Structure 1
Amino acid sequence: MPGVQAIVARACALVLALSLAITSGCAGRPEGVLIPEASAATVHALGASTVDMLVATTRAPSEKPGVLFGGERGNEVRAAEIVVSIPPDKNRQIGQVQWPSKLPANPAREFATVSVAPMNDKAKVQGWIKRSMPAGRRMLVFVHGFNNRYEDAVYRFAQIVHDSGAQVAPVIFTWPSRGSIFDYNYDKDSTNYSRDALEELLTTAAKDPAVADITIMAHSMGSWLVTESLRQMAIRNGRVAPKITNVILASPDIDVDVFQKQWEALGPKKPKFTLFVSQDDRALQLSRRIAGNVERLGQIDPLQEPYRSGLEKAGITVLDLTALKGGDRLNHGKFAESPEVVKLLGNRLIAGQTITDSEVGIGERVGAVALGTAQTVGSAASVAVSTPILIFDPRTRDNYGEQLQRLNQSLSNTVGAATLQ
């Protein structure tokens, strides 16, 4: 059958292209980057900064020095406090992880591991939470996606926390991914293997009196793990823990039909959901083909039906990053690699604030709106023309013509002759 052969050929070509894109990104990295190499005093003297995070994992320990945990499944949840140094901003591109070219790393220009302290004692974990909690007592829990090694997840999360400037106690949950494009099904099963552990982590954090508010951010296949764990929590307890107020799903690798059922199971009192989507996400294109050609949540066009009506009814905010240039060949990591979006994460979303106000309307491509430091998108005080992002906010219902007129007036008043594209 020529049609079937053509489909198979295209799928194989896509798999090969994705494999080359992913493996080329890892080429040349030294193994063992999580071996502590420099003191905090040394890296600070070089102008570097540090991110102190709690790392919980369902991975099995690795026997390789500096790797800590591999891609196989462990029989218990293990935790560690890991401190990572970030080079001075003048020596790096915001949104990128500067991997060491060799070991020991150069903290002035590369990410480096400062310390690793196992924390398998519950009292130690509680102590870390208490001393790491900022004034707002907000915790950020990050769950990585498909094809991530332990060190990939740790360094990427350190980059997100640093570049976003988020005032949070940073916690990462890393599940057993083999870090291979060819182990998609193994990784998917590993997320299911880890559902109970993530639910327990979130439940424990929500019960801690030191924690006032929890934001969960997940990428790619990690979005499946998060929604499944929250679904379990809701079924088990009759609701999602009230302290979990904000859920951010970036490039979610979830079947749209399945997500609808997951959403319904969360009950009437749900956290606020925000999605980052991109129709040119090549990794999700492959996932869609593997999964029977059903649309993935991270690829939808929020302006098209039935998504527009469904999102409006659910009250889910969507940021469509399709028009942004991706920092990787797959266009799968825009949420972490775009400086504007990373700042938005820290200054608006992770802080639990709304993205839009009455000057940016429901699903309208209102030119190009900058998402800079401490900005409300479309606000008269700070909007500027720079970054084309579609914002779908079901809570805003002003007439589009009136919105456009007000936004143009705001731009005239604040940035002179700037006009909407």
Structure 2
Amino acid sequence: MMRRASTGVHALCIGLMLTACAGRPEGVLKPVTSGSLSPAASTVTMLVATSRKPSGDPGTLFSGERSPMLSLTDIAISIPPGRASGTVQWPRKLPADPAKDFAVIRARSLSIPEARTWLHAYDNDGHVLVFVHGFNNRYEDSVFRFGQIVHDSGAKVAPILFTWPSRASVFDYNYDKESTNFSRTALERSLKALVDDASVKDVTVMAHSMGTWLAMESLRQLAIREGRIPAKIHNVILASPDLDVDVFARQWTELGPEKPKFTIFVSQDDRALAVSRMISGDVARVGQIDPSKEPYRGKLEQAGITVIDLTKVKTEDNLHHGKFAESPEIVQLIGSRLIGGQKLTDSNVSLGESIGAVVAGTVNTVGKVAATTVSTPITMIEGRSRPAESSEIGTILKEGPEEQP
């Protein structure tokens, strides 16, 4: 087991370094001059809240170290035309060329009152999306990835990024994990400020990888402090959650009886989560479960949790860990349906049919796609019965099949 874990960690490190670092200059956050902007480019504006320590460098803004003070920044990104959906066009040299690259056109520090003004001025019909990134992310990594998600999803939301102190090194897994713990209260208070704002109608929390731990812990703290999850938090989307299945079951229970709508993206071929499992006591990760098998299927269905299996979806991600963001169809699904709080079913087309058709590219000729048919591009479970009691959901993931990957 130790030899297998060591080999797996080594492979993960090589894969992550090749994926994360190839061809990327540092310091891309220094705004380009207005004269270099491309008239054909699109602009994404976001509010960034962070528990990172300021770097003092306008090209990076924040480091991977921790700060007890929450910092707020208004950032605008130019998205180049002709880019393939699901991709981030990193500059190969600086300054960035807005005709070909993602480029920052504004980065402005905000006070709390100024952040409220930013929120109130955003044309979003009261919808807010809060994104929490995962392990091994620089500040600029999370900014550009979130910009890509917002742009490609087409969601009409006020985009708010919460970025926590990651040292962006595959050898600092434990530091990053402790940084999520360090940031729990900062994210909780940010969510509370949003739901207390009269201009906000609803909030969607979307988290990826290790960021799902931070999101669940902050929601749990908020539920305990307030007596329930605030009603304005309508949706929680967990993508490739790096969560111990037993811990997630306990977190779920402690959210209380009235919960947001949960959607979880999983993939059994997620290599990053396979290594995470090896170094975490060989306990299955939520992001790798097979939702078509019992006891997961029945328990998740009882709880009303929607699980979308992306195992058969192909992207350029060698680790199969970022499919939710790199698949154009899934990003559009998130923006058009999930963030808006819409059910992914209607009177004619079931969720399995509609998502299977979207991913297969057969939207106009929807065919039957059984939820339990693993040969289809997507396997889905949607809760259709009554919500489970807290004691029921506590056993959702504890009795997983022995053949977990």
TM-score between both structures, scaled by the size of structure 1? 0.86
Q: What amino acid sits opposite 1:126 in the alignment?
A: R
**Most deviating of 156-165 and 317-326:** 317-326
Residue number among 87, 92, 109 corresponding to 2:100 in the alignment: 109
In structure 2, the residue matched to 1:20 is 14
In structure 1, the residue matched to 2:75 is 82
Give 3-state SS (helix, strand or coil) of 2:247's partner.
helix
1:1-400 counterparts in 2 under 5 A? 7-25=1-19, 26-39=21-34, 43-45=37-39, 47-88=40-81, 90=82, 92-119=83-110, 121-134=111-124, 136-357=125-346, 368-370=356-358, 383=366, 388-395=377-384
**Most deviating of 202-211 and 302-311:** 302-311
Give the deviation of 1:34 after TM superposition.
0.1
Give the deviation of 1:64 after TM superposition.
3.6
Say what the alpha-carbon RMSD is for the aligned residues. Answer: 2.3
In structure 2, the residue matched to 1:413 is none
Q: What amino acid sits opposite 2:23 in the alignment?
A: G
Residue 385 and residue 158 in structure 1: after superposition, are their counterparts in 2 closer, same or farther (change >3 A)? farther
Give 3-state SS (helix, strand or coil) of 2:44's partner.
strand
Structure 1 unaligned regions, length at least 5: 1-6, 398-421
**Most deviating of 14-23 and 314-323:** 14-23
1:203-247 C-alpha deviation (Å, 9 max, x unpaired): 000001111110110000111111111111111110111100000
Give 3-state SS (helix, strand or coil) of 1:215's partner.
strand
Give 3-state SS (helix, strand or coil) of 1:31's partner.
coil
Residue 372 and residue 200 in structure 1: after superposition, are their counterparts in 2 closer, same or farther (change >3 A)? farther
Give the deviation of 1:383 after TM superposition.
3.5
Matched-pair contact (CA < 8 Å) for 2:359–2:377 = no
Q: How many equivalent residue pairs?
A: 379
Matched-pair contact (CA < 8 Å) for 1:344–1:371 = no
The whole-number CA distance in structure 2 between the counterparts of 1:77 and 1:366 is: 41
The whole-number CA distance in structure 1 between the counterparts of 2:333 and 2:13 is: 31
Residue 326 and residue 267 in structure 1: after superposition, are their counterparts in 2 closer, same or farther (change >3 A)? same
**Percent identity, aligned pairs only?**
57
Give the deviation of 1:63 after TM superposition.
3.4
**Most deviating of 266-275 and 21-30:** 21-30
Give the deviation of 1:396 after TM superposition.
7.8
The whole-number CA distance in structure 1 between the counterparts of 2:53 and 2:360 is: 40
Rg larger in 1 or in 2?
1
Structure 2 unaligned regions, length at least 5: 370-375, 387-405
The whole-number CA distance in structure 2 between the counterparts of 1:115 and 1:60 is: 20
Residue 359 and residue 259 in structure 1: after superposition, are their counterparts in 2 closer, same or farther (change >3 A)? farther
The whole-number CA distance in structure 1 between the counterparts of 2:12 and 2:317 is: 11
Residue 77 and residue 391 in structure 1: after superposition, are their counterparts in 2 closer, same or farther (change >3 A)? same
Higher relative contact order (CA 8 A, sep 6+): 2
The whole-number CA distance in structure 1 between the counterparts of 2:33 and 2:262 is: 39
Give the deviation of 1:352 after TM superposition.
1.1
1:173-204 C-alpha deviation (Å, 9 max, x unpaired): 00001111111111111101000000000000
1:151-170 C-alpha deviation (Å, 9 max, x unpaired): 00000000000000010000
The whole-number CA distance in structure 2 between the counterparts of 1:125 and 1:93 is: 32
Matched-pair contact (CA < 8 Å) for 2:359–2:378 = no
1:60-88 C-alpha deviation (Å, 9 max, x unpaired): 11134401111111121001000011011
Matched-pair contact (CA < 8 Å) for 1:343–1:371 = no
Matched-pair contact (CA < 8 Å) for 1:191–1:224 = yes
Give the deviation of 1:250 after TM superposition.
0.3
Q: What amino acid sits opposite 2:27 in the alignment?
A: G
The whole-number CA distance in structure 1 between the counterparts of 2:306 and 2:22 is: 37
Q: What amino acid sits opposite 2:52 in the alignment?
A: R
Give 3-state SS (helix, strand or coil) of 2:107's partner.
strand
The whole-number CA distance in structure 2 between the counterparts of 1:51 and 1:287 is: 33
The whole-number CA distance in structure 1 between the counterparts of 2:235 and 2:75 is: 25
The whole-number CA distance in structure 1 between the counterparts of 2:61 and 2:339 is: 29
